[in-house]
Every structure is written in structure tokens, then in C-alpha cells.
Structure 1
């Protein structure tokens, strides 16, 4: 807390002067308060200072800013560090201390009572770094055109003048970054589609923070990377004052996705131990990855500045990148022709995920499980099971979309009963093909296998698993896979029949758990063969999808409410009320759904395609929650010729 006492102005000013306090140590500028328009100013500022020793001199300047012309110093004073500490008194954590000032210039009358009142407080070294970095971020937002250089200057000074080791510096940076991410997580209600990425990044970086606190050494490259991320998130300081947060939704979404990817890399990087890397075990790929992330965040920061109206001129010379990209495309094309011999199947994954803002609990749980660090005893298969119509496939689609956006999706297979593409014989080679498409090194390894074993597609699925998945992942490819790679097998109960999938289920339960770096999400009904194979496997996380939880029931109500907007638009000629059919009937529909999203989906499709929405709604409420009855109603309407096709809404998921 700063305040000035004993001010006597030479003349009466029509408006309050614009004042600030500038502070230097041994003549070096260190900090300044924000400007305050007041005759007797008071600032609520916390300004950490660093000095060489007890004889260092703190200089204080009371500065007045004019509307036109340069600012001028009204009063100034000096005091040595040891004198300040003596005035504070031994054993006191904080105390108000008057520091005498001398009036200079023509603004103030000389007065023996003129003093700057300072509340002195003792804080830890790590807190000093945290405050310095926070101030740097705030300064960068004000400067606009040169935020990065200012951040580097202030943060660099804090790091150089602290007795804390580098780990403490990284602690402070991570703490600042997680606090910024916490803001983004909380605005997920406004920008719902970024919420899973923000929450993932927050959870992963929090776990990194816990690990870093226990480390004794680190390296400058990670500090610089996190520092760059802190700079990008300076926008969160002003997020509440932004007039229209949706206008930067796209940029923020990209930044948060990049942060989630980077967080997973940092966690993997730190898990190997800083000390080992310091003695020469840093591989060149790590160095390149860090540089790539820093370049990406710098680019995202420029995009954000443009979105916020801070225009920065910049040019990029990317001729070398274009040439390198051309070589890689040529190599990928050659490999792709070889990989096509695997005869993979293409399954329809062009479906809707969860309504933004719904199913957050289960989505967060699955994402957390799928991104846990790899360890000797880690569980790498997640089985989500539940009754038909509970929404398992919709959840799987959302997970697929999330990890695809992060570049961590290795393969996704959405099985459908009575579909040739859902045969168990296609599963292993389709996964291998998808993994190869997502990772160049994996593609090279699989192409080599296909050259050595040209008849691998005719081999048993056990042999295909060994040669196309396990061996490549255990060999060179594993060193080129960053972060967890996600495999999604949706509706496993619809993959073939009991007999045809018997060997596949055995392979999944006994061998998939040995695949390094892969995380497998499986959804299915709790069919007997699947449940019997999975129930005793400790490496498989078994999660029932409970349709009766309050959050599930509320999610269905939100889904129905959102779908009613389409119903009203479809039936514009009926001049339905903007809130039709009203909260009471929406709640009634939610109760009838009884936790089954398939009921809610089919019911809203029925209303959307009905001739008279009011009659259809009354008829629907009378029929109750009987799903068979609902299908019968829907089919009757379809056969009467009054609606479009409804088959797409009748598949149980």
C-alpha cells in the first residue's frame, strides 16, 4: 500500500493531477505504480524489489503526468535498504513506514511533513517471482505492440535477481499459467466447445506443477516454453471486460487445444527426470518439439492480438518449410500406396457428439483416464458400458472429436450391427492403417513389416496384432510418438456376433493392455462375453454409464430444450411462442426420457417432423416413456407420408 501525506500544492488545480510513484534501486528503474488521478493519492500496489545488499539505495519519485508535454517529478527521496528495515522493526511482518520526500519543481510547496507512506511486508522468493511475472503480463497487455519483449525483460530480471533455483522459477510460471487456465475453464459455459481442452490442460499442468516442486534440477528450455504460454494467456486478465467474448472464440479454442497438447508433452518430458536430461540424454526431437511449440504459441499470440484489435506487422520466410513439406508429402504418398494393401474399412464417424455443455462429468473422467501418465502399472483400456440408448456412442463421438482436434487420435472404429465393415477380421489392420496415417515413423515400420510379410492381411488377427501393432510400437516407432495415442472402439457388442468376435475379445482383454503409449476407449452394452472377458483384468478401467444420476437427467433436459429451437424453426408457420412448449412440458419430456438419450432424440425428431407440433406433443406426453410405443408413433407418422425419414433416429446407441 502506497500513499502520500503532507502534500501542499502551490496553486489550486481545476482537476486532480495524474500521479504515479516510480521506484529505482541503485539508479536502476525497478517498478512503478499505476497512474492515480487524485490530490492525495493512494495506491493498492504490491511491488517486490531486489537489491545487491543492505546498503543498496531505493529511490522514490512522485511523478505528475500532463495532458500535453512530458511528465515531471514533484517530489523525491532516497533511503537505504537497512534503514528501511530498521524503520520497519525487527520481527514485524508488516508495518506502515513514512519515507521523507523533498518537494522539487514548481508543483509542490516544501513541507517537512511530506512523506511516502509504505506498508513493508516480507514475502518468499517464489512469491517475488510470481508477482514479477504477473506484473510483466499486465504490462504486456498495456503495451500491446511489444508484449513479448516486455515480458522477457521483466521476467528475466526476476529470474536473475532471485536466489531461488530454476525449479522455483518454473513453479512460479506454472502457478501463473494454471491460474490463467482456471479463468478459461470457468468461461466454458460461454464457450462450451473449448471446455474439455481447457480442463485437460489445467489438470495436466497441475500434475506437472506437483512433480516440479519435488525436482531439484531442470533446464532453461522448459522454462522458456512455459514462459511463452504465460504470455499468450495475458488476455485472461481482461476477459470479464471483453464486450463480446464470442468474437475471439475461434482463436481461444486453437490456443487452448495447443496448450493441452503442450501440457501432455511437458508432463511426459518431466516424467523422465530433469537430472538425466542435463547429462546429455535430451534427444534432438525434444529440442525441436519445444521450438515448434514456442513458434506455435508466438503465432497464436499474434492471431489473438489481431482478434483483439492489436495489429502487429510481421512477415514469415517459409520457403525452407515449404520445400521440406514437399519432400514429406512425397514420402507419405509412397507409403500410403503400400498401406492401402491392408484393405482397411472406413466406418461412418460423421455423427454428432454431445451437446456443448452436457455430459461434462463423464467426458472429464474419460479424458483424465485416457491422458494419465504411462507407468508400469498404468491402466490403458477404458471400458464404458451401459444400456441401449444411454448415449455411449455420442460420448465416444465427443471423445473422438476432442482427441482428433489435439492430434492424438490414432484410430476410431464405430461398429454397426449387420454391417460388413463391422467384422472382427478388419479391426487390427484398420487400427494399424489409421496409426500409420497419423505417424510417419509408424508408417515406415508397418510398411517394412508388409514388405517382409506380404500375406499379413490373410494371417490370423493374433499374428496381425503381433506384427502390425506390437512389434512396431515396441521398436523404433515408440520413440517418435508424443503423448498418449487414443484408439476408440465404439459399440463393440455390434462387432460381429458372439462366435466371430470371440478371439477379438480375448485379444483385447489379454494383449491390448501390453501396447505401449496407446490408450483404448471401448464402449458397449454389458453383453455377457465382453463382461466375462473384462471383469478380472486389472489393467482395464470399468465404468458403468449411470443414466439415473442428477447430472444425466439435467443433461437430457438441456438437450430437449436445445432441440426445441429446431422444432420451433421447422414449424414457423404455426407462430409458436419463443419459449414453446414451456418449461413444465420440457421437464415432463425429460422425466419421460428417464435418462435415455435415444428416447429424447427420437421424441424431438418426431416433433420436428410432425404435421401439428401441438397435437404431436400432446400425443407424445400421453404415450409416456415406453420406447416401443414411441417408435410405433414415429413409424405411423412416417408411413402416413407427413414426415421425412426417421430411421436415423431409431438406432439404439
Structure 2
């Protein structure tokens, strides 16, 4: 799955220069200096939006530069990179591209049994890694320690699969069957907490938690200052811009969440708007709005910003936007622009126009819809959070009925590539 690799263009950017260095340095030192046998897993955990994926990306680049990266896999639920069957196959492919002798054995293994890629995870791991490594060792090849990064494990489809992946990794460490050390990043899901708490796994794992904290306000200030200065120069705005008061408001609204600051930058820099100053003031106005979310929810401020984004979608195309989001969630297919557009009966111009209104949260990349963060689609599916914009509210029932009729029409049309079956939740 090439899109899941660290050097894919679909990934969010790495950490802004000079930010999150505490965690990046800690992880890179752990990976480069050689790990304690008792800590060959590094679990970076934390809530949504604190910057785990950006840290993973920065670490992957650092390890790659030192030729210590075996592979990196970035799960993404909204972008359909969530199939557990593609994890170990992708890791093996990436490592094979770096080690010719392993690649030759892997090629022979898959040639002898092409069904390996569809086997259960334990079987995959042994045939893709354990047995080939044993063969390399028997030939006297020195296999030095390498880092494997698994980001967004909580976005892998299926609780059982997530737990199984951790258990397989831990077993390989305990049995010393692979030379890998593992950086695993995820949200603090109860089943993952329970898995990492087991005696066998906890003994070999270093755990580090990223908190939602105002202690990083200085880093968010640096990020916003640098990125908004670029936007100001592009639009020939007076220097300094934004004003110090407005910058302070943006930092305060971010509330220790880098995802908020990232989304704000994309929102203010939206070329399909009345300009950066207008966009900036729309965000600043949130600070005085009485309908802000409760601070008890760690993403309450981000939710309110997502509401602002949806409120600024023109009424005449709002339903089209909801159709697009609903289709990407309802259909068990990749977010392929052409196929989604055909299915919805939209012209290329209509589809592009609708997607541009969501510039802050998604983009079109080489013919695919790419969401910047899973939190937006989580928001759009929760009626308590997205309110009237929720794609699963009663108002969407008629929309889903129409989609079903369109699906039937598509399946009966020989000129349009057939769609996969409806997602189980439909």
C-alpha cells in the first residue's frame, strides 16, 4: 500500500521546525543508540489532534536519513488506509526495497504462495519476516537492528486486529525472530491500553503520552507566526500581520492542539475566500461567541471551528458537500474522485467547486480525496457535535435513499465501472 509509506504525498507534513523536539529527540535517540532489550517497543500515545502523526513523520525522516528505517506504515481511517491485511505486506515491501538479499527471498516466497497476502496476520508475519530472516541468518548475513513505525494503530479496522498486531510484534521480540524495534503511535483506546498493560508487553515497552497542554503555546505561536507570515507576504498584507492581539487569540483558541492551528492556517490561506483578513476575523470572532463547546471535551474548540467551516459552505451547494462526504463513508470503496463523481451524478466542475469549500479539512491528491485528519469525519458523523450538518441526521435519510437509487442505476449501467458492495453500516 504505497500511500501508507512515510514518503507518500498523502501524509500530513512533519513537525514545524523547532517544535516537538522533546519527543522527536527522545524517539530518535531511542532508535539510533540501540534499544534496551526490555524496551524494543516505543508506544507514543495521546488524544486526537496533539501531533502524533507529525512526530511519526519527523522520526521516519530522521531514521531514513541515518539508514535505520526498515519501514513506516501510516493508518488512516477516512482515507481507507485501514486494512490490517496490508500492514505486514507493506512493511515487507518497503524493507525489501532497501535490502536486495531479503527481496530475492521474499519474491520467491510470494511466487510459491501468492495467497500469503490474504492469509491471517500471524501466518503473514512468519512467512514474510521470520522464515526469510532465518534463511538470511543461515547464509551468515549480518542483520542489524532497524526501526519500524506504525502510526495511527487505532485507525486500523477492527479492535481484534489492532490487538493482534501488538501481540505479534511482542511475540517476535520475545522470541527474537526479527531485528526490528517498533515505534507504535495511537490514541488512548481502552482495548489498546489493556493490551499494553499485559505483563509480557508492558515489560518490553517504553510508553510516552502526549497531553493536550497549554505548555506548548510557545510552539504553536512559532508555527502560526511562520505560516501566517507566508500567507501575509503572498497577499501583500502589512507587516506585521496578523496583529499581536489577533495572534494571541489564535493561540488561545488552539488550546494546546496542533490540529486546530494546522486547520486555522489552511482556513486563513484558502484561495476560494474573500481573502486572509476576512478569514482571520471569522476565526477571531469565535473567541467571543457564546455558543462555544464545553471545555470538558478535548476537541470542543476544534468542533466549533469545524462548525464555522460548514457554516461558510454556500447553502446552494451544502447538500452536494454532504452527498460527497456521505458517499465516501457509505461506499466500501476508495475515495476515488472519478468514481464518486460518476456515482453522485456530478460534473467535474460541480465536484471541484464543492470540494473547494472544504479546503481546510481535505484535498484532492492525484485523483483521490484525502482528509487531513480523522477528526473531521468523526465530527461529521456525530449529531451532538456537527448538529444540523451531521451526515447521519434525519435530514440525510432522503439523501441516503437517493444514493441507494443512484447505486442501483450505476450497477445497471454498463458504461460505468461497477461499485463495490455497500459498506456494512449502510
Which category describes the TM-score, using the shorter chain as reference length? Answer: 0.5 to 0.7
Counterpart in 2 of 1:462? 122
Q: Check the 8 A contact 1:381/1:519 in 2, yes or no.
A: yes
Shift of 1:476: 2.1
Q: Check the 8 A contact 2:42/2:183 in 1, yes or no.
A: yes
Cα distance in structure 1, aligned partners of 2:183 and 2:276: 39
Runs (5+) with no aligned partner, structure 1: 1-343
Cα distance in structure 1, aligned partners of 2:142 and 2:268: 48
Aligned residues between the structures: 305
Relative to 1, partners in 2 of residues 1:417 and 1:526: Cα closer, same or farther, differing over 3 Å?
Answer: same
Residue 583 in structure 1 maps to residue 282 in structure 2: no
Q: Check the 8 A contact 2:60/2:69 in 1, yes or no.
A: yes
Cα distance in structure 2, aligned partners of 1:374 and 1:628: 40
CA offsets 1:449-494 (integer angstroms, 9 cap, x no match): 3355454334321122112112333442596456531211111111
Residue 634 in structure 1 maps to residue 309 in structure 2: yes
Residue 429 in structure 1 maps to residue 71 in structure 2: no
Cα distance in structure 2, aligned partners of 1:480 and 1:639: 62
Residue 380 in structure 1 maps to residue 37 in structure 2: no
Cα distance in structure 2, aligned partners of 1:398 and 1:473: 28
Shift of 1:555: 1.2
Counterpart in 1 of 2:4? 347
Residue 556 in structure 1 maps to residue 190 in structure 2: no
Relative to 1, partners in 2 of residues 1:650 and 1:486: Cα closer, same or farther, differing over 3 Å?
Answer: closer
Counterpart in 1 of 2:182? 520
Cα distance in structure 2, aligned partners of 1:453 and 1:356: 46
Counterpart in 2 of 1:336? none
Relative to 1, partners in 2 of residues 1:544 and 1:355: Cα closer, same or farther, differing over 3 Å?
Answer: same
Q: Which has the larger radius of gyration?
A: 1
Residue 445 in structure 1 maps to residue 71 in structure 2: no
Match of 2:212 among 520, 532, 547: 547
Match of 1:647 among 328, 349, 361: 361
Shift of 1:597: 0.7
Q: Check the 8 A contact 2:77/2:374 in 1, yes or no.
A: no
Higher strand proportion (structure 1 or 2) = 1
Q: Check the 8 A contact 1:386/1:524 in 2, yes or no.
A: yes
- Give the TM-score of the pair, scaled to structure 1: 0.43
Secondary structure at the counterpart of residue 476 of structure 1: helix
Q: Check the 8 A contact 2:85/2:117 in 1, yes or no.
A: no
Shift of 1:601: 0.9
Counterpart in 2 of 1:40? none
Cα distance in structure 2, aligned partners of 1:646 and 1:384: 26
Please show how residues 498-537 of structure 1 align to structure 2 within 5 Å: 498-511=159-172, 514-536=176-198, 537=201
Secondary structure at the counterpart of residue 413 of structure 1: strand
Secondary structure at the counterpart of residue 587 of structure 1: helix
CA offsets 1:487-533 (integer angstroms, 9 cap, x no match): 11111111112244443343234435545421211111011121111
Please show how residues 63-212 of structure 1 align to structure 2 within 5 Å: none
Residue 616 in structure 1 maps to residue 291 in structure 2: no
Secondary structure at the counterpart of residue 456 of structure 1: helix
Shift of 1:561: 0.6
Secondary structure at the counterpart of residue 312 of structure 2: helix
Counterpart in 2 of 1:491? 152
Relative to 1, partners in 2 of residues 1:472 and 1:482: Cα closer, same or farther, differing over 3 Å?
Answer: closer
Please show how residues 201-280 of structure 1 align to structure 2 within 5 Å: none
Secondary structure at the counterpart of residue 354 of structure 1: coil
